[in-house]
Amino acid sequence: MIREFWKQQSLSQKVVWLFLFTLVFRATFALSIGLIDDEAFHWSWTKPLQLSYYDHPGMIAWLESLTTSLFGDTVLGVRLPGFLCYVGTVILLYKLTRDLFDQWAAIFVGFILLWSPFWGFGGYVASPEPPFMLCWVAAAYVFWQGAREDDQRWSTKKTWLWLGVLMGLGLNSKFIIALLAPGFGLYLLASPSRRRDLLTPWPWVGFLIATVITTPVFMWNIAYDWPGFKYQFHDRHAGFSFSMTRWLTYFAAQILFTTPFLYVMIVLAFITSAVKIKEARWRFLFFLTLPSIAIFYPQPFFADYKPHWVGAAYTLLLMGAGAIWSQGLVWGKRQVIKARSKVFTRGILAFFIPLALICYTPFAYPWIPKVYKFINPNGHWETKFDPSNEFTGWEELGRYVNRRQREIHAESGRKPFIAAHRYETTAQTFWGVKQKVYMLSTTRSHYTVIQSPEEMNNLKGEDAIFVSTEKYEANPVEWAAWDGGCEKEELKTFRQGVHARTFFIYYCKGFQKIIN
């Protein structure tokens, strides 16, 4: 019966069913595991909600504030905005790819977004990336509707009013979206039929709309002496010398993140967009991705980097990769890649299938330590070797710390505050205990920026419960000065009888000041 039903479905209907099945699987998976460090970090931004933040603008916190007000401080409340943005990104990019090329290219793009390790596993985590990517793809979609050279083209006014809104929302998500703006301008300059758009007021009205919508970012930075701008545009890019090794590490990370066969197709898509620049659709891909490629590929020579910064450009280049897979690639008279090449299809699947199994199956059963012991029976196993452990243990820690806080308060009459020393541990402890956690460190982060000197001075003389883990182990006497000593306790958590996490909980007396 199922086989007959499947045969009766058109290609479009089959695609919809497969995509829906994948999304249901992802939603089920997302609701069954704990938060990673950055998800807990961004959730903590909602308490209290602010106009912007040290690390990024405020969009993800604003969205999570809405959903957690509806569903509580739960995994559903935290992850729902990212998941919805992820679904919207898949739908829009599928539609745009079909518009630019054909349905098989769109199917390729949808498959990559849903099942690749980079986009599929990380695409819907509760972080600034999902709303940013939705705005990025939506802005590209809208720009194409106004730049296309057929009778379906949107009016210049409609295009730029929508772009102003989308770019403003995107800038409240992540600053990288600003790199689309020079891409828009370069495309218009390189397109004789569209250059006149720059002489109309509408691109500048769109720019004004985006600026007004971005006002919260400026207001917050003015209030705190511009920490977000200093961090994003100077601090994280300064203080490094030229390094070929760092660039080669970055290059290896690009191949690892996208997998080798897909990376080759993305590179070919960028090269093809330059070679076929006279065609509007390829010119569109070239100029909208050129600014990101031009900035982020040279950067590792001279400064630190994050491997995913160029991911937004890759997302658009997936459309070109899908076209190459769907239609083949001919340069000159030479057939470089055949249509729906079996080599690239099997090459991509050869990485995606094992990586999907490696990513997902450890959550069903913690098999990684057993495999490690089988391969290396005399080796020293550490729980941090299993990445799936990162998602566990924090709620157990929260119950333990809250109980100890109540016990100490009852015994001494003094309620200790809760603290940690890294933003990751601070955030996860916050998630576990559901109450304010102080970051006792001089390292700049959102926590240390908003912890005012007056607030920290009010803690002077108070006792504290200080949390660290086996991943980021720390002794509180190395991070803060105390009148009394610190008593150490250890909490171990388990998954299906297998040791998963070790937490170190210190009870420290008489906080004086942060020293490190």
368 lies in some domain: no
Higher pLDDT, 48 or 117: 48
Average pLDDT in the 4-15 region? 72
8 Å CB contact between 156 and 202: yes
Return the pLDDT at 410: 96
53 lies in some domain: yes
Gap between the Cα atoms of 114 and 112, Å rounded: 5
Mean pLDDT of the chain: 92
Same domain, yes or no: 24 and 162: yes
Instruction: Quickly state the pLDDT bin for 2 (edges 50, 70, 90).
Output: low
8 Å CB contact between 197 and 203: yes
Return the pLDDT at 6: 66
pLDDT, tens digit (0-9, with 9 covering 90-100), for 151-202: 899 999 999 999 999 999 999 999 999 999 999 999 999 999 899 999 999 9
8 Å CB contact between 209 and 174: no
CA angle 95, 96, 101 (to 5 degrees): 105
pLDDT, tens digit (0-9, with 9 covering 90-100), for 130-158: 999 999 999 999 999 999 988 899 999 99
Same domain, yes or no: 416 and 283: no
Same domain, yes or no: 204 and 293: yes
Residue type, 339: A
384 lies in some domain: no
Same domain, yes or no: 308 and 163: yes
Range of the structural domain that residue 426 is part of: 390-514
Average pLDDT in the 66-73 region? 96
Return the pLDDT at 499: 94
pLDDT, tens digit (0-9, with 9 covering 90-100), for 345-373: 999 999 999 988 888 899 989 999 999 99
Alpha carbon distances (Å) from 503 to 37, 43, 475: 15, 21, 12
Write phi, then psi, for 390 (nearest 5 degrees): -60, -25
**Model confidence at 337: pLDDT above 90:** no
Quickly list DSSP for 160-214: HHHHHHHHHHHHTT-GGGGGHHHHHHHHHHH-TTTGGGGGSSHHHHHHHHHHHHT
- Shortest CA distance to 401 belongs to which of 512, 499, 506? 506
- The number of folded domains in the chain is 2
Cross-strand bridge partners of residue 503 = 469, 491
Q: Determine if the peptide bond prior to 48 is cis (ω within 30°).
A: yes
**Model confidence at 285: pLDDT above 80:** yes
**Model confidence at 401: pLDDT above 70:** yes
**Model confidence at 400: pLDDT above 80:** yes
373 lies in some domain: no
Instruction: Quickly state the pLDDT bin for 123 (edges 50, 70, 90).
Output: low
**Model confidence at 222: pLDDT above 80:** yes
Average pLDDT in the 96-117 region? 93
Same domain, yes or no: 224 and 170: yes
Same domain, yes or no: 467 and 332: no
8 Å CB contact between 124 and 83: yes
5 lies in some domain: no
Here the tokens at position 302 are 């001279």
380 lies in some domain: no
Same domain, yes or no: 98 and 171: yes
State the SS3 of 253-320: HHHHHHCHHHHHHHHHHHHHHHHCCCCHHHHHHHHHHHHHHHHHCCHHHHCCCCHHHHHHHHHHHHHH
Return the pLDDT at 126: 86
Same domain, yes or no: 348 and 400: no
Gap between the Cα atoms of 164 and 157, Å rounded: 11
Which of 354, 372, 400 is the last residue before a domain boundary? 354
Same domain, yes or no: 349 and 449: no
Same domain, yes or no: 191 and 244: yes
Instruction: Quickly state the pLDDT bin for 49 (edges 50, 70, 90).
Output: very high
143 lies in some domain: yes
pLDDT, tens digit (0-9, with 9 covering 90-100), for 450-491: 998 999 999 999 999 999 999 999 999 999 999 988 999 999
Instruction: Quickly state the pLDDT bin for 10 (edges 50, 70, 90).
Output: confident
State the helix-helix crossing angle for 103-115 and 311-327, rounded to 10 degrees. 140
Which of 304, 327, 354 is the last residue before a domain boundary? 354
Same domain, yes or no: 325 and 415: no
Return the pLDDT at 311: 92
Residue type, 7: K
Same domain, yes or no: 423 and 298: no
**Model confidence at 313: pLDDT above 90:** yes
Average pLDDT in the 280-308 region? 93
Q: In the block, which residue shows the tokens 């009013």? A: 161
Cross-strand bridge partners of residue 331 = 334
- Shortest CA distance to 105 belongs to which of 293, 290, 339? 339
Alpha carbon distances (Å) from 256 to 244, 309, 446: 18, 14, 30
**Model confidence at 74: pLDDT above 80:** yes
228 lies in some domain: yes
Alpha carbon distances (Å) from 313 to 75, 242, 291: 30, 25, 9
Return the pLDDT at 1: 65
Alpha carbon of residue 497 to chain centroid:
32
